[in-house]
Structure 1
């Protein structure tokens, strides 16, 4: 009798364990096997991502990636929907979306530069102050070029807030901006590279302010690496590998701008003339820095509040801290 009871108990325990096993969650994907989904737009300043792939920096980190080209203006939508898990972003363009809950963490600054305000050589516009009362063409009302233009104009004492607007911003597509200037629809342009540098050369324009060469902007990081919140929390090793690879690629570009530009064109990451593209890359500082991006974010967030592009009720310091993640095995600066 006792033997029968023992057999029954063993059977019951076996059934319970089997049922419990059926309800278990699948084993988590190991970081070595994880394939990180990266989104990109194909711009010249995304060179760190291009070189991380072409020069094997991702591979050296043991990181597997799946790279998807995104339509213009869809990067935030893609990462929110989980279609992408990492990317390359302009810091100024990230501030307001992050305040609204964009689910990403910035992991490192990658380089400076990108944005310009341009005017015709014969326009009589020689300074930011000369833009008072003028019309400025921009690609959108929340793009990096308009953010940079507003910051620079405010620093020069030109009103760009809702209560004191001394310039008029008019939206045209990036391809139509040069024609709008040529036809007199606007008096100046706010654009980012490579279209800004190409337009400046083709239409013989002067630079009123350039974030790559004019202080204090030339020392402030414009572009950064980021990962989705879920990657930072659930796969920190993957996030760290991605960040280190992007940093190493950026530092490599600093020493090899001509080869970088040639690879970008030859591998069809970007269009254009490699020699001209290299001349633009050489105006940027490709010395990646975590703290550099952190500091630039704080400066930009406070300025955006001053010009009305970020709600005054947002705690800028708290937003700055919340928007970044630092990993112990990711260096602050790579040269």
Structure 2
């Protein structure tokens, strides 16, 4: 009788547990649905010219068209990855070359689409002795930081022209100055060249009469490689996958719109204080970028850039690039290239 009583009690407890779990699952599902309805996507941005897809997705209503509420969060320079790792933001926009090394170290994001080409330049005085990339050997190159896209681009270009840029064979010197100080340092002879991104680089070229030695928007093979990509946090993908897809679709719509309306884009960016500068000059820069969004082409560009980063010592040689590529992207069933 005791055995029968114990067995009956165990069965009752099990049934109550299953019922409770079922009800909890329903409650959780209902809660998630409510959260999705009220969910606000926190998108980090820095205010750069090439972030136009994010700006236009807001201004032209592409986020709203997708049914997505967004909270744009202005980030201090160099804090984008920290903000998404800490949960301060859910999604962002950055240069793919900047993302590869952090991704190899476990940055908790997935890339969802490539948005455009272009961004970085290497500049020298127009009347100086430096006429080619090869002439930069042994010279000092000013950069805004030692982990920025301009230094990555400069190293890739230098290495392609046979100039050592690795820790064991460094044949140039990189010197850090702020964006505003770089052209002045070049003018005073403290550095021999500048590596920076637009619009700062183009503004400096016009104002100080600088010669463009390398341009990622115009020079092969860089002009055909995706510069900037959209990404979402792994947490967002786990908890709000549809919001991640909506964000990606809206950014793609905005990118296509920019390609057709660069002048209006530049004006809206300046008028709404997303970026500084002159709208007409900014539009000329935007026209050198290709705003043709693609998931597959960004995926394909990833291995090319990653291999070059390994060659120049900015990505560990032990990293399995193909595995990293597969682990770094999210393909949505309802997000397609046109």
TM-score, length basis structure 2: 0.91
The question of whether the paired residues in 2 share the 8 Å contact of 1:32 and 1:63 is answered with no
1:243-282 → structure 2 map (5 Å cutoff): 243-282=248-287
**1:231 alignment counterpart:** 236
Q: Aligned partners of 2:66, 2:119: CA distance in 1, in Å? A: 28
Whether 1:161 aligns to 2:166 is yes
Q: Aligned partners of 1:233, 1:300: CA distance in 2, in Å? A: 28
Q: Structure 2 regions of 5+ residues with no counterpart? A: 1-11
1:12-161 → structure 2 map (5 Å cutoff): 27-30=31-34, 31-161=36-166
Q: Aligned partners of 2:310, 2:169: CA distance in 1, in Å? A: 14
Whether 1:294 aligns to 2:316 is no
**1:3 alignment counterpart:** none
**1:205 alignment counterpart:** 210
Q: Aligned partners of 1:27, 1:183: CA distance in 2, in Å? A: 62
Q: Aligned partners of 1:173, 1:271: CA distance in 2, in Å? A: 16
Q: Aligned partners of 2:297, 2:202: CA distance in 1, in Å? A: 25
**Secondary structure of 1:283's partner?**
coil
Q: Aligned partners of 1:146, 1:37: CA distance in 2, in Å? A: 29
**Secondary structure of 2:264's partner?**
helix
Q: Aligned partners of 1:173, 1:201: CA distance in 2, in Å? A: 18
Per-residue deviation, 1:22: 8.8
For residues 292-323 of structure 1, the C-alpha deviation after alignment (integer angstroms, 9 at most, x for no partner) is: 21122211111111111111111111111111
Per-residue deviation, 1:234: 2.7
For residues 245-271 of structure 1, the C-alpha deviation after alignment (integer angstroms, 9 at most, x for no partner) is: 000100000000000001111111111
Q: Aligned partners of 1:178, 1:77: CA distance in 2, in Å? A: 29
Per-residue deviation, 1:29: 4.1
**Secondary structure of 1:157's partner?**
coil
Between Structure 1 and Structure 2, the one with more helix by share is: 2
The question of whether the paired residues in 2 share the 8 Å contact of 1:36 and 1:86 is answered with yes
Moved more, 170-179 or 52-61: 170-179
Per-residue deviation, 1:233: 2.7
**Secondary structure of 1:221's partner?**
coil
The question of whether the paired residues in 2 share the 8 Å contact of 1:116 and 1:190 is answered with yes
Count, aligned residues: 321
RMSD of Structure 2 on Structure 1 (CA): 2.0
For residues 191-241 of structure 1, the C-alpha deviation after alignment (integer angstroms, 9 at most, x for no partner) is: 001111111111110000000001110000100100001112332211111
TM-score, length basis structure 1: 0.91
Q: Aligned partners of 2:310, 2:33: CA distance in 1, in Å? A: 42
For residues 25-71 of structure 1, the C-alpha deviation after alignment (integer angstroms, 9 at most, x for no partner) is: 58214534321111111111000000000000001111111111111
**Secondary structure of 1:174's partner?**
coil
Per-residue deviation, 1:175: 1.7
**1:242 alignment counterpart:** 247
Q: Structure 1 regions of 5+ residues with no counterpart? A: 1-11
**2:191 alignment counterpart:** 186
**Secondary structure of 2:191's partner?**
coil
